[in-house]
Amino acid sequence: MFSTQAQVLYDFTAEPGNNELSVREGETITITNRNIGGGWLEAKNSRGEVGLVPEDYIEINQAKPFTSGGNAAPLDLSFFDSHMPTPASTAQVDVAQPETPVTPVTPGFSSTSPDETSNGNDPWAVFDSNASGGFSNNWAAQPEGTETGKTSSNAWPSGGQGHPQAYQGPGAEDDEWDEEWDDVKSSGGYAESEAGEGGAINRGGAHGSSMKIALNKFPGFSKSGPELYLLSKLPAKGTKLSVYTGEVGPVWAYPDYQLDCVVADPKKGSKMYGLKSYIEYQVIPTTTNKPVIHRYKHFDWLYERLLEKFGSAIPIPSLPDKQVTGRFEEEFIKMRMERLQGWMSRMCRHPVVSSSEVFQLFLSYKDEKDWKMGKRKAEKDETVGVMVFSTIEPEGLPDLDLTEVEQKCEQFNRFTKAMDDGVKDLLTVGNEHWKRCTGPLPKEYQRIGKAFQNLSSVFISSGYEGEAVLTDALTAAGKTYEEIAQMVAEQPKKDLHFLMETNNEYKGLLGCFPDTIGVHKAAIEKVKEADKLVAAGKITPSDKITMSKRASTMSYSLQAEMNHFHSNRIYDYNRVMQQYLEQQVKFYEMIAEKLRHAHGQFTTM
């Protein structure tokens, strides 16, 4: 059933010594082993070289016969029977998953992101074209056993190398902090240590990028996942997640007390007789005020759990880049901590996420045993992926018809796409401004300052009497411009930094929406096909009603999430713009004040 031929979608350069195989976009390779795991496949190129390639970088050729069938192709629902795993079977399918889950390596996170240059991979375009088209063959043409995650990888927005590089300078490179992941090596097999090392494919830029929704747990169901929930006969498991009618429409149930936490006090730890070092952070929840200790890999574990559990309904932004590097250790640690803080605060602010068992465990485990047990339990959670919708209950809200559901979905898609563009634009401009403010502009003010002081020195040498007032004033003016140069260079850290960080966070959040909305889109398409499925005897009329009802629930969930997003967005942008403008005002006032002082030193004639 599986062809061994595959097409390379993006360039991939092998890391020496890792059994990897360099491949070029457009190259045809032969898959020699699919059972590597951890997002890797073994492949052979035309020169007979064999090595590992990331599965998201390639497209298995067999998919073609199906997609080329188009609208006229007969419905092939065979996968419906053969590939619909029950939640119980999910765990079995997942055997290849290592104990400590590893973020799948993904295209678009390297510094030359293919997604950024190729319009064909625009994650938003997929939905836009669906929106304008009529009959969709998403359902019918779903290829069997497409395990490569190609469709899913299409939905991944570009990682982009934005803000961080701008003020961290060009010196970014792998550093010893990658060794935080070394303990993963000792705990598992080959695949884990490869991905775990993070050396093969740079994860840099993951902050401010998309999530990978947890659907990859179910092979063959990347975007066709929703039917798992839409037609599920199983009773809902796990905590109920209510959606209420608020002033602005459907809203999540918000807790009375807003959780928050502080990430602080980074400490360097080491193991293996000091050969391996890592950083430990204190995480102090405002509820208990009792600090817990976490390493970056624990945050990453939490991210994986949240993504798996909530990713279909809630955009879970990526963690800050694992490989964001500063020129100095301190700078790096500070930056990562600041961003972990931002990520944690955002998670704390989310009523669904913050009240989840796994998040509570992370924030307030009692001891090592408690943590380990909680971890195991969380990893065995079956209400993940689209099944999270089974726990959502719209309270006193009428069922929505499909047109309404679709309209809402389209509206959110349009908005998040537009905001994604706007945010990226601001980041680009901000990045350029950052460079100018820290580069050529202060240099110029410094040169002006030097030119004034130089002229003053010449004047002093004149031997002409009575020009001390002028020369002193001219020297002072020169020094003032040197001070201004310094101020200009340091200002971005005081204002632009926060504007950039906030927009970077939003870029990350917005990058999750194509996946989240994609799940809804897929569900809508499936409900649209319900009549045909009933006619073909594949589902019962009762199933059709259930599907429609469940699509309505999904829509309420999405609306609640969008309203949560909007409310946070208004708060965040209000706050960051105020902060930015306040600092800008101070900056210009201080310059004016300095120049006024310099002006006062000249004689009034």
Annotated binding residue 47: no
Identify which of residues 308 and 505 has a Cβ nearer to a second copy in the complex: 505
Instruction: Write the interaction track for a second copy spanning residues 399-418; mark x where CB under 8 A is met and - where it is not.
Output: ------------x--xx--x
Annotated binding residue 297: yes
Residues 441-480 touching a second copy, rule: CB under 8 A, are 441, 444, 447-448, 451-452, 454-455, 457-459, 461-467, 469-470, 473-474, 477
Work out how close the CB of 459 gets to a second copy at its nearest, in angstroms, rounded to a whole number.
8
Identify which of residues 376 and 566 has a Cβ nearer to a second copy in the complex: 566
Work out how close the CB of 347 gets to a second copy at its nearest, in angstroms, rounded to a whole number.
21
Judge contact between 89 and 139, C-beta under 8 A.
no
Judge contact between 228 and 84, C-beta under 8 A.
yes
Tokens 């997929």: give the residue: 126
**Binding test (CB under 8 A) with a second copy, winner from 81, 173, 247, 256:** 247
Alpha helices in 461-495 (DSSP H): 468-494
Interface segment toward a second copy; rule CB under 8 A; list 98-106, 259-267, 298-306, 587-595? 587-595
Q: Following CA atoms 351, 355, 359, 365 in sequence, which dihedral angle do they give, to the nearest 10 degrees?
A: 140
C-alpha 416/C-alpha 418 separation (Å) is 5
C-alpha 164/C-alpha 335 separation (Å) is 9
Residues 345-384 touching a second copy, rule: CB under 8 A, are none
* H or E segment and range at residue 595: helix 541-600
Annotated binding residue 295: yes
Q: Give the bridge partners for 202, in sequence order.
A: none
Residues 512-571 touching a second copy, rule: CB under 8 A, are 563, 566-567, 569-571
Q: How many Cα atoms sit within 13 Å of 566 on the Cβ side? A: 14
Work out how close the CB of 463 gets to a second copy at its nearest, in angstroms, rounded to a whole number.
6
Interface segment toward a second copy; rule CB under 8 A; list 304-312, 323-331, 335-343, 438-446? 438-446
**Binding test (CB under 8 A) with a second copy, winner from 96, 264, 429, 536:** 429
Q: Pairing between strand 392-394 and 241-246?
A: parallel
Interface segment toward a second copy; rule CB under 8 A; list 33-41, 119-127, 367-375, 430-438? 430-438
**Binding test (CB under 8 A) with a second copy, winner from 272, 373, 536, 577:** 577
Identify which of residues 376 and 597 has a Cβ nearer to a second copy in the complex: 597
How many helices (H) and strands (E) the chain has is answered by 21, 11
Interface segment toward a second copy; rule CB under 8 A; list 84-92, 329-337, 379-387, 437-445? 437-445
Q: Is 15 helix (H, G, I), strand (E, B) or coil?
A: coil
**What CA–CA distances, in Å, run from 51 to 33, 62, 89, 118, 175?**
10, 21, 31, 26, 26
Structure tokens at 49: 């070289």
Identify which of residues 402 and 455 has a Cβ nearer to a second copy in the complex: 455
**Binding test (CB under 8 A) with a second copy, winner from 240, 267, 290, 596:** 596
The amino acid that residue 93 corresponds to is: V
DSSP string, 96-113: GS-SS--PPP-TT-SSS-
Helix 357-364 vs helix 368-379: angle between axes, to the nearest 10 degrees?
160
Judge contact between 363 and 293, C-beta under 8 A.
no
Binding-site ranges for a second copy (CB under 8 A):
247-248, 411, 414-415, 418-419, 421-423, 425-426, 429-430, 432-433, 436, 440-441, 444, 447-448, 451-452, 454-455, 457-459, 461-467, 469-470, 473-474, 477, 563, 566-567, 569-571, 573-575, 577-578, 581-582, 584-585, 588-589, 591-592, 595-596, 598-599, 602-605
Q: Which residues are annotated as a binding site?
A: 295, 297, 336
